[in-house]
A and B are shown apart, each in its own frame.
Chain A
């Protein structure tokens, strides 16, 4: 069943994880949603769910990168 399919990605840790970054376009989309909300236009249900998902994605990538760096690689950029 497609819904239960899993994707397996082999990555070398931790260096590859440190290379996982939030795409610029995704960051821009999140900024646009936050701008809209901050302008006093409430997000609709779909936009709110999207924003929530993007926040979580960005935090997950942040955490992965911090952990990859913390686990001894010479790290980053």
Chain B
């Protein structure tokens, strides 16, 4: 029990590093109702360690949908590719934000991640539009 417990001090460092933003979709914790989750990037089920370099801050939606997944299908080609890894990859290389606040995948990995995490659900886009209006997104 608790072998995977992420100590609060470590969680705090992860939140600080992420500047309190979801490391996948980029939304800020500030005005979100649910508390963002500190996730293992490389999953526990595959022996991903509970250490700073394997943790990422995720909004509840991205956290739930990512789960233990590290690969997904690129909707453009149908190829199975590695999903975006916030510890190794640069966000701007893999994603862009459209005028309409939809997130666009710029690479196979980016496209697969947008799809896997359902980043462009109606509610998520509507929240981004409000956040953009207040200058908090992107």
- State the A residues within 8 Å of B (CB): 21-22, 27, 30-31, 33-35, 37-40, 42, 51-52, 54-56, 58-63, 65-67, 70
Contacts and interface: CB of A to CB of B under 8 A. Distances in A.
A21 B43 CA distance: 32
A35 B1 CA distance: 13
B130 interface: yes
Contacts, number: 79
B67 interface: yes
Given A38-B37, A62-B31, A66-B127, 12 more contacts: A21-B33, A27-B33, A27-B34, A31-B35, A31-B37, A39-B44, A55-B34, A55-B61, A62-B33, A66-B134, A67-B130, A70-B133
Given A38-B44, A38-B63, A67-B130, A60 B123 contact: yes
Contact of A27 (B35, B63, B127, B133): B35
A56 B123 contact: yes
B33 A34 contact: no
B21 interface: no
Nearest to A23: B33
A42 B67 contact: yes
